[in-house]
Structure formats: structure tokens, C-alpha cells
Amino acid sequence: MMEPALRELGLMLIAGAVMVLLTRRVYMPSIVAYIFAGLFLGPLTGLVSEQESVRRIADAGIALLLFLVGLELSLRKLRDVGRTAVIAGGGQIIIAAAGGAVIAWLFGYAAMEITFIAAALAFSSTIVPVKLLSQKNQLSSLHGRVAVGISLVQNLLVIVVLTFLTGLGDPEGLSGVEILRGLGLAFGGMLLLLAGALLSARFVLPPLFNWMGPSQEGLLIWSLCWCFLFVLIAEAFNLSPEIGAFLAGVSLAQLRFNEDLRRRVNPLMNLFVAVFFISLGVSMELGSAAEQWLPGLVISVFVLVAELVFFLWIMIRLGYGDRTGWMTGAAVAQISEFSLVLAALGVSMGYIGAPILSVVAIVATVTMAVTAYLILYSERIYDWLLERRILGRWPVRNAALDVHEEHSSGHIIVVGMNALGRRIVDRLVALGEDVLAVDTSPRNLEGLTCRVMLGNAEHVGFLEEAGMRDAKLLVSTLQIEETNQLLAYWGRLFGVPTSIHAFDNSLADDLLNAGATHVILSKAAGTRRIADAFRSAGIFA
Amino acid sequence: MTGFAILLAAAAVAFGVSRRFDMAPIPFLVVAGMVLARIDAFPVEMLQDALIYGLTVVLFVSGTELSPSRVRGQRAVAVQVGIIQFGVIALAGTGIALLLGYARLTAAYVGLALAASSTLVIVRLLQRRRQLYEPSGRAVVGVLLLQDLLVILTIPLLTLVPAGIPGIARGLAGIVALVALAFACMRWIAPRMARLALEPEPLLLTALAVLVVFVALAIRLDVPIAAGAFLAGLALSPFPLRGVLRGQLAPINEFFAAIFFISLGGLIGSPGPSTLLHAAILAALVILVTPPVVAALTQHAGFTTRAALESGLLLAQTSELSLVLVLQGMLAGQIAQETFSTLLLVTVVTMVLTPWVSSDATVQRVIELVPGRRPIPVRSAGRVARLLPVAGRFPPTAQRATETEPPSGHVLLLGCGAGGMPLLETLFAAGHRVVAVDDDPNIVEQLRRGEVEVVRGDASDPDTLRAAGAERALIISSTIRRPRDNYRLLQTIRDVPLMVRVFEDEDADWVRAAGGTPIVYSDAAADEFMRWFEQFRRGGGSADQAGAEPAGRRLQAGRQTQASSHHSLEGRKDERPQSLP
């Protein structure tokens, strides 16, 4: 009864989960674990082979990821780093391709092989930096935006290359007219989508989505529908589905509940992206890996070192600090999933042999794995480099450019703006405390004198964004038993004191057991107030 | 690709419509599927996949939401009511189905399908009305959980019937094995998973891996996938794992559930006249028989007539699990498509009608029709007021409560609750006669044991108020939960000072306008919080220093209050009552 696709998906999920759990000790980033899981299932044991439906899920993952990127970044945020992205991204392509060609030549490869290797090195991955930066909540940071900008610029280049390649495959297609036509269609379509995104963002989407309301189930389905619409249009114009999804996200970015939306799409995206990486591992053609390990390794080292150094240099030249340069370089110093596609195409068209594919696969695996570690721990590594005075030697030329976001810490988070929440906020603010008020309804957050944040405190991602780990205190005034228990639990786990509303006295013990530091017994307080009222009425005279 | 796009678009429309009418989306999703099938636009090649994926995920998430802790305090009631209600409706349903001419096995399916009520619809309604944590709300949730469990356990039994006794035995063995595995997971694996503090994404993957393992085992053991998925969810349901997972699973659930329910609709297309007739009859059975049965049972268990009726009317629909049950039957070839269509229609109709059927207005109307309302408000004898010296003076002569005459000159506490004990003791110490009114049978029992004069009844019911002597009380305080009840109270009581406990400021406004004195307990709570916060801040604001002490004190204080009330309820003479400062 189990279809092969279901069985393979099931195996992938199990292998992925097991691998992640096993590699936690070595602090391995989850996506690396997924690649290894895929390597185990595919090349190593042959338990799983590439399936159409699995690939569709993986593709959906990339599309959703770019959708989320679009949701988080408005075009305005990207415009700021546009120039940087073009210069740095363009430079990276040249350096990587040139250097790769030289090394390939030194290893004695043929002309066609050198070309393909150079082309494969030119592009850096979209999904690795975007996924990890999103995980670290750094997509809108300076280096995050630059990395995304570079990614988008290179995506455009990919379209050009793909158009060329389809022309190469088709004998008539190689004519200049055909190629121009293909490009024209693609870019024309992109402009159309862009216009559509901007117009709908202004006129169509706000009334529709605001009517739907926050925290309604339909919100997810509606946004998925919208994303899908753009993807379909993109494919009709021979564009990649990612560009369509990205623009769909951009058009939804200025809605009031875009953060809520992001948090809803996130788990779905995470699941599909995990499948993507596992299937990437499965599809790695490591057949000739044993023989090709030396060139593969050398090229990988070259990519990593050259790109890291290059980005440090170019970002400093453009006026940023070396920290930004380091973080950006760490994010993009790998080759792309598209590089694998390119090499596979080359093999299928007979231009190169399988060994080259293995070389590209090795470089992909190594550079993706290493940069995954680099991205995840980039701050710590930077500090280490700073200590050893390897970095930190160059003055920032343009301080206005290199602006970093503030982290809030030592603040008090108050969840739930009902009568109790509002009173607590007012009184804390009067004492001079830094307060962040949280609620799921925009109306409840109106008219408050402190910082506000819209969203559902049940989600740990939201709590992280609210800076819970660095908060002084978390207060919940909610009258929802399960959310309160969860907040108590998170408080204990993060080492943050919590004061939780036990809206019925019987709930107090459970809350304390779940880890609450203090419980607010509102009914008991009310009873005492009633006693006071009785006293004023002369009952106890 | 286009098929998927069609499904998504149909789901979007269904959600839009459900938002417009502010109702649960399930019936509209089903109707959307029916419409698609009618206009021949349904992507049939996706049907099988959509159903299986959807079924698995929906049941998995249902399993994770199964939380006995939500039922706190009403477990006995829930089990009692749930089992009898399930049995009665199942039998009645089977009987009617047989009368309508269905085969025996089919009739059994129909009966069981009718007996389950919809967790999704009811919990959503209770949350909306903020009644989830009231005693009747908890009892209803308990009944729902029991029904879920019963349906899930009977699915494999029914599908295995053609395999004869050995087949059923084998199936049962398989289920028992899976249930054992699920409980083992709940006990040992789930807590460990929670403690691992995984990032959301690996956590989700691990949870789904557990699902895959259970489903694979289910297939191996010849148990229906539905049961495997549900038990996988159950395995992951202990706190805090469930709460942590919920954020991750919610969108996955929304997505797959939407696809699932649309596909269900797509299965049937347009129903014929006999299907419609049968659906009408069965729906009538559910709506007209379930409420009286449940109401009678809950009233017997000690709830007021109104709470009992509310519970009964809330449970008057069939469940998404009923659909799962019948779907499995159809996939196993044991029931015909027409039967499935009939039950689908019953579910859609009863779900759509539930908000209206269980509304306050309907409850009021039905209450008037019900003969012999219970409980007839009766006061229990109260204790003699304490003869202890208070500040050197002796209190006025103690009044012995008489059974027949309504009290007067007393302090009336409407909705006393367990938290009212300190207040009671203080009033006694001041020499007052106190009468309490509450509808929660547990509370009433506690008070009675403590020899407090208590009237068991609905505090907004005029008869109850009369028996409690509201018109002639010295002063009344109301801690009734529902604003509408307080409003009725304010209209009824005119000459006695009435303090009404409210949480929100808007409520304080209209209480004042209606002539009462609002006690805004959110304000009181905020004051107490600030008092604690001052200490917390002075203590350096760390969880170890200022935090631990108040927590400890709170815990002790909490226990103390409970202990003291417990002591005073036992009426120990050597213990001084804890009175309020």
C-alpha cells in the first residue's frame, strides 16, 4: 500500500531526524546533517533514489524560502544595498571563475571541463545563506541584506545562463534571435511580475488581508495561494519559480501581520527545505569521488579562502567595517545548488564526463558544509579573529553605511494586553522600565506608551525575536492555560524570570511546577479587594 | 500543478466565506470540494494522495492535542457522561440505520459515526465564548477526548470484521502493541525530546519521523493508518512537548487539513434525494437526541440545568473523526459511497448549525420548556457563628439558620468558589451570617462539608436568588463569570448594595451605570504584581535571588490558603481560622 514516493519520503524524514540528533554534539548545522543523511541514503546505501514527487517537494521548499525572504525584506531594504550587491557579487563571480579556471588548468583538465568548472564556481548558493540567516533572524541585518542582494543578482544571471543552455541543447535554438527572444520573454515577465507585485501591494492586498484578520487559519492558505499564483506566472515566462515566489513575498511584506504570516509559513518551509537538502545529498554523484578527491579538495579550499578574502577586501573598500565583510563573505563562500544542475546538464549533453560532476559535487558538499558552520558561528569566529588581531586593523571608511541593529536586553516583556496587561505596562513604564508589550490583536496594542510587538507568544521564534533570552522578566497576563504553562516552561529553559497569571487559583501549582518564578493570583487579589469594599461599606465596623 | 492550484484556490474561497460568517471552516471546505466535483473541476488524480496525506496529518495533530489535563476536576463526570452518551447514540443511530434499510455492518458504522462530536468546532466555540475553563466546559472537553479515543479504537475493529475473529484478534493485538508503544513514548521519549531543547526545525522533523515510524508499523501490523497516525500524535502529547510542537505543527495541519476536507467534498459530488432524506433524518437524530441524553446525565452528575443543557446542545453534531471513520470504511470496501455522502452531509449540516443550536438564546428558550428544573435551590444548614471574642467583645447572639425561611440581613456571596474561603472566615469572625451560592458541584460539596450555608444553583436564576434571600441581604458580592448573568443580576436586585467583580474596564462602566459597584480585579492583581515587582527589582532581578523566595513563599502561601481552608472545612476547633489582614 505504500507508494515508493511515500516510502522514500518517510525514510528521508527518519534519516534526517536521526542524523540531526546524532550530530548535535558536534554542533553541526542541521542542513549539513541533512546533506549527510541524504549521502547516507543515496550514494552510500542506495536505499533511496531520486523521485519526482520528492523533487517537487524540494522545489516547493526553495520557493517558500524565497517567499519568506520577500516577506521579510521589502524592496526598499534591498535597494539600500543594491549597488554593493552588484559590485561585490559581480566581483565574486569573476574571481571565482578565473581562479577556478586556473586551478583546473593546473590539474590538466580539458578546455570544456575547465569551462564548466569555472561556470560552476561562479555562483554561490541561495538556499544555504538564506536559510541559515533566516534561522539566526539576521535576514534584515546589513550583511544579511547584502547576501540576499548578491543572491538575487546571481539568480538573474542564472536565468541568462539557463536560456543559453536551453539554446545549446536545441540545434536551432543557438541562433541569436532565439536567445534574445528567450531573454526578452524572461525579463519582460520579470518586469510584469514586479509591477504586479508593487501594484497589488498598494491597492489589492491590504484590504483583502486586513479583512481576513490576524491569526486566522485562512491567512496561511491565502498567502500560499498568492505565492503559487506568482510562481505559475513566473514559470509561464520561463523565469525560475524562486523569483516569482520572492516577488509574491515582497508584495505581502508591508501588511500589518507580515510577521505573523512569516511565522506561519516558516514550519512548512522548514520541512520542505529539509527535504531539499536530504534529496541534495541523495542525488550527489560521488561515483568517481575517490579519484577526484584532490582536485575537489583544492578547489574547495580555493573557493572558501579566495571568496572570504575577496569579500573582506571589497566590503572594506566600499566603506563597510571588516565585521560586515567577514559576515557577508562567510555567508556566500560556497557554490550553488545550481552548479550541480549545470554540471549534470553538461554530462547529459556530453560535454563533460562524470568525474567532473564528482569534482563539482565534492566542492559543493565541502563548501556548503563549511560555510554552514561559518555562518552559524560567524560572530564567535570573528571575535576570535579579532582577538588574534588578524582582523580589526582597518578603519571603517563610511560609518553611515555600517549601521548595525540594536539588540534589546534587560527589558520586560508583557504578554497579553487585556486590562491587567495594560495596567502592568503603565505602571512599569512609570517606574522607568523598558517594556515590550505583546499581543495577537493590533487593536489591543494601540495607544500604548511602550514598544509593541504583534504576534503569538506561543511560538518560540516569536519569543526569540522579542529578545526573550536577554529580557529581565517575562510577564503573562493571558487567560489561556496552555500558553501560560508554555511561557513558564520557556522562562525556565532560557533562565528568564517569569510572572504568570493564574487566572484561576487552582492553576497556580501547575504553573510553578512548569517553571514560573511567580504567579499572579488575580482572583485572590479580587477577593481581598472585595473585603476592602466590604470594610468601606462598614460591614466590619 | 494546476490541480494543486485549483485545490488551493478553492480552499482560499472556502476560508474567505467562513471568515465572512465567522464560523469554523470545515463545512465550507467540504462544500467547496462538492462544488468542484459538481462542475467537474476537481483534480481527481490528486484525490487519493490528498486524502491519505491529509488524513494522516489531521489525525496526528488531533492525537497531540489530546490532553487529559484540560479536563481537570471533571474527569469522573466526563467519563460517566461520555461513555453512556456514546453508547446510547451509537445504539440509537444503528437502530435507525437498520430501520432505514442499511446492512448490519453499515448500520454499525453509521451509529458510531453519529456518536462522536466535533472537537474542532466545540473547542473553537468554547474558546470564543471564553468558557473553556468553566466546569461545564471542562466536562465537555473531557467527553470529546473520550469520544475521540473510542472512535479511533473502533476504526480498526470495524474494518477487520470481514476477516473474522482471527483477523480481529490480530488487529487488536496490533493496536494494543501500538498503544503500548505510544504510552512508552509518552512516558520516556517525549519528556526527553522536550528537554533536548531542539531548534524548531529539527524538532518538527523528529516529530514527523515519529509519525512515519508509527505509520510504517501500522502498515506492518495491518492496523489502519488512521490509528497509527493518531497514536503517534498521542505519543507526543505530554506537556511541554505538545505546546512546543503546536507552533510548528499548526501551519502543517492547516495546510493538509484544508486539502483533506476539500477532497472529502470532492469525493461525493452532488447528493441524490434519498441521500438527502437519510441525511436529514440522521441529522435530526443527532440534534434532537444528543442534548437531552447529555443534559440528563450531566444534571445527574450535579450540574445546574443550564450548564447541563449547554453541554448537551454543544455536543449536538458529528465529528471530523466520524468522517475519518466512514472514509476508512469506504476505502476498505465495507460501505457504499452513498452512505459516505449521507454522513458527510450530516456532518456539514450539524457543524454549521452548532453555533446557533448552542447559543445563549436557544438555551434560554429550551430551559423554559424543561420540566422540573433542577436543582431546586435548597440551602444547606450553616454553622453557628463563632462565639470567639473579637477584640474583647462578644459577637451578637448566634443565629441558627432555619430551613424554611429565606435568610435576611446576611452577606450573600454569589459564586463563592474555592478562593472565597478567606473572605468567608473573615465575615464569620466579624459575626456575620453568610450565605454562598455556587453552581459547581465540587465547590458546593466542599462548602457543605465545611458547614457553610450554601445554595446550589444558578446565581442569575430568580428562584435561586429567592432561596438565598437576595432581596433582604445586607450586602451582596458577585464573582459570577459571565457578564450577561451579572447584568441580569443587576436588573433583578434593586435595593441591596451589589458588588460585582469584573476584569475589564468596559465591564466596570456598565456595572456602575446599572447601579452596582464594580470591583476591578485586574486592578487589584496589578497592584499585587507591582508589590512583588518592587521586591524583585530590589533583589537584583534575577531568578535565583528574589525570584526563588517569592516563588517559595507563593507556593507555601498557596498551600497555606488551601491548607487553612481545608482545615476550616474540617472544622477543627484547635486551629484559628486564617483571616484577612
pLDDT at B567: 33
pLDDT of residue B25: 87
Q: What pLDDT shows up at residue B117?
A: 93
The amino acid occupying position A80 is D
Confidence of residue A136 (pLDDT cuts 50, 70, 90): confident
**Residue A498 in contact with residue A514, Cβ under 8 Å?**
no
**pLDDT score, position B519:** 92
Percent of the residues in chain A that have a pLDDT greater than 90, as a whole number: 23
The pLDDT assigned to B91 comes to 94
Bridge partner list, B518: B500
Q: What confidence tier does B393 reach under pLDDT thresholds 50, 70, 90?
A: very low
B78 or A258, which is more confident:
B78
The A residues from 438 to 457 touching B (CB cutoff 8 Å) are: 456
CB-CB neighbors (< 8 A) of A517 in chain B: 543, 547-548, 550-551
* pLDDT of B396: 40
Chain A residues 204-233 with CB within 8 Å of chain B: 211-213, 216-218, 220-222, 224-225, 228-229, 232
* pLDDT at residue B313 in the model: 94
Residue A479 near chain B (CB below 8 Å): yes
Calculated CA dihedral for residues A51, A11, A356, A371, nearest 10 degrees: 120
pLDDT of residue A426 exceeding 90, the answer is yes
- The answer to whether residue A21 scores a pLDDT higher than 60 is yes
Q: What is the pLDDT of residues B357-367, one digit of tens each?
A: 998 888 888 88
Q: In chain B, which among 415-474 make CB contacts under 8 A with chain A?
A: 417-420, 422-423, 426-427, 430, 432, 474
Confidence of residue A404 (pLDDT cuts 50, 70, 90): low
- Is residue B140 very low, low, confident or very high in pLDDT (cuts 50, 70, 90)? very high
Q: How do residues B316-330 score in pLDDT, each as one tens digit?
A: 999 988 888 888 888
**Does B523 contact A505 at a Cβ distance shorter than 8 Å?**
no
How would you classify the pairing of strands B453-456 and A498-502? unpaired
How long a stretch of residues is chain B?
581
* Residue A227 in grid coordinates: 505565492
Cβ atoms of A272 and A341 closer than 8 Å: no
DSSP H or E segment with residue B168? helix B164-184
* pTM for this entry: 0.80
Query: Cα dist. A411→A29, A408, A486, B544 in Å?
Result: 30, 7, 20, 18
Residue B387, pLDDT > 70, answer no
pLDDT number for residue B288: 93
The answer to whether B520 contacts A419, with C-beta atoms less than 8 Å apart, is yes
First CA to last CA distance, chain B: 71
DSSP class of residue A454?
E
Touching check for A342 and chain B: CB below 8 Å?
Answer: no
Residue of A nearest to B251 (CA): A264
pLDDT category of residue B291 using cuts at 50, 70 and 90: very high
Which residues of B are less than 8 Å from A528 in CB distance?
422, 524, 580
Q: What's the pLDDT score for residue A185?
A: 82
Amino acid present at B8: L
Determine what percent of chain B is predicted with pLDDT higher than 90: 24
Taking a C-beta distance cutoff of 8 angstroms, is the pair B90, B115 a contact? yes
Residue B386 dihedral angles phi and psi, to the nearest 5°: -65, 140
Residue of B245 and A156 predicted with greater confidence: B245
* Chain B residues whose beta carbon lies within 8 Å of the beta carbon of residue A534: 411, 427, 475, 477, 499
Partners of A529 on chain B (C-beta within 8 Å) are 519-521, 523-524
CB–CB of A459 and B528 under 8 A? no
CA distance, residue B473 to nearest chain A CA (Å):
12
Confidence of residue A421 (pLDDT cuts 50, 70, 90): very high
Task: Using pLDDT thresholds of 50, 70 and 90, give the confidence band for residue B383.
Answer: low
Q: Which residue has the higher pLDDT, B471 or B552?
A: B471
- Highest-pLDDT range among A237-251, A252-266, B167-181, B283-297: B283-297
The answer to whether residue B467 scores a pLDDT higher than 50 is yes
Partners of residue B213 in chain A, C-beta under 8 Å: 14
Residue A187, exposed/middle/buried by CB under 10 A (0-12, 13-18, 19+)?
middle
Inter-chain touch A13–B130, beta carbons under 8 Å: no
Report how far residue B191's alpha carbon sits from residue B193's, in angstroms, rounded to the nearest whole number: 5
Chain A positions in Cβ-Cβ contact with residue B497 (cut-off 8 Å) = 537
| pLDDT reported for residue A44 | 80
Under the banding of pLDDT at 50, 70 and 90, the label for residue A541 is low
Contact A499 B529 (CB under 8 A): yes
Q: Name the 3-class secondary structure at A211.
A: helix
Minimum Cα–Cα distance from A136: chain B residue: B199
Q: What is the pLDDT of residue A445?
A: 87
pLDDT score at A63 = 87
Contacts of A86 (CB under 8 A, 6+ apart): A149, A153
CA distance A100 to A106: 10
Question: How distant, in Å, are the alpha carbons of A63, A191, A237 from that of A195?
Answer: 20, 6, 15
Q: Give the confidence band of B423 by pLDDT, cuts at 50, 70, 90.
A: confident
| B244 at interface of A, judged by CB pairs closer than 8 A | yes
- By Cβ distance, the residue of A218, A486, A533 closest to B519 is A533
Range with the lowest mean pLDDT among A186-200, A278-292, A395-409? Answer: A395-409
Q: How many CA atoms lie within 13 A of A139 on its CB side?
A: 24
Return the pLDDT at B248.
Answer: 86
Q: What is the pLDDT of residue A2?
A: 52
Residue type, B87: G
Type of residue numbered A433: E
Q: How far apart are CA A67 and CA A229, in angstroms?
A: 12
**Joined grid coordinates for residue B189:** 521519549
Q: Hey, which residues 253-282 in chain A have their CB within 8 Å of chain B?
A: 263-268, 270-271, 274
Question: In the predicted model, is pLDDT for residue A399 greater than 90?
Answer: no
| Digit-coded pLDDT (tens) for A100-117 | 999 999 988 888 889 889
The predicted structure's pLDDT at residue A260: 78
Please spell the DSSP secondary structure of B14-35, one letter per residue.
Answer: HHHHHHHTT--SHHHHHHHHHH
Angle formed by the axes of helices B200-220 and B225-235, nearest 10°:
140
Give the pLDDT score at B429. Answer: 84
Residues of A in contact with B524 (CB under 8 A): 522, 525-526, 528-529
Q: How confident is the model at residue B390 (pLDDT cuts 50, 70, 90)?
A: very low
Look at B251 and A265 and tell me if their CB atoms are within 8 Å: yes
Query: How does pLDDT run across A48-104, given as a tens digit for each residue?
Result: 777 777 777 888 888 888 898 888 877 777 787 888 888 998 999 999 999 999 999
pLDDT at position B520 over 90: yes
A192–chain B Cβ distance below 8 A for any pair: no
Rounded Cα distance between B245 and A460, Å, is 10
Answer whether residue B538 shows pLDDT above 70: yes
The confidence band for B525, taking pLDDT boundaries of 50, 70 and 90, is very high
The verdict on A514 touching B (C-beta cutoff 8 Å) is yes
- Nearest chain B residue to A30 by CA: give it: B202
Counts of helices then strands in chain B (DSSP H, E): 24, 6
User: pLDDT band for position B378 (50/70/90)?
Assistant: low
For the cut 50, the answer to whether the pLDDT of residue B385 exceeds it is no
**Rounded average pLDDT over A308-334:** 89
* Three cell numbers written together for A491: 522562562
Query: C-alpha angle with apex A432: A428 to A437, nearest 5 degrees?
Result: 45
- The pair phi, psi for residue A170, each rounded to 5°, is -100, 120
In chain B, residues 134-173 whose CB comes closer than 8 Å to chain A: none
> Which segments of B301-336 does DSSP mark as H helices, in order?
305-314, 320-331
Considering only the beta carbons, identify the residue of B243, B252, B519 that sits closest to A529: B519
pLDDT surpasses 50 at B566:
no
Q: What is the mean pLDDT of chain A?
A: 85
- pLDDT band for position B372 (50/70/90)? low
- pLDDT > 80? residue B2: no
State the average pLDDT for chain B. 81
Instruction: Report all structural domains of chain A as residue ranges with CATH numbers, in order of start.
Output: 4-48+56-387 (1.20.1530.20), 400-536 (3.40.50.720)
Contact A256, A214 (CB under 8 A): yes
Comparing CA positions, the residue from B251, B249, B247 lying closest to residue B233 is B249
A442 has pLDDT over 90:
no
Position B355 pLDDT exceeds 50: yes
Interface subset of B 64-103, CB within 8 angstroms of A: 67, 69-70, 72-73
- Measured CA to CA, the distance from residue A129 to residue A132 in angstroms comes to 5
Q: How confident is the model at residue B71 (pLDDT cuts 50, 70, 90)?
A: confident
Which has the minimum average pLDDT: A456-470, B324-338, B559-573? B559-573
Q: pLDDT, tens digit, for every residue of A138-170?
A: 888 888 889 988 988 888 787 777 777 666 655
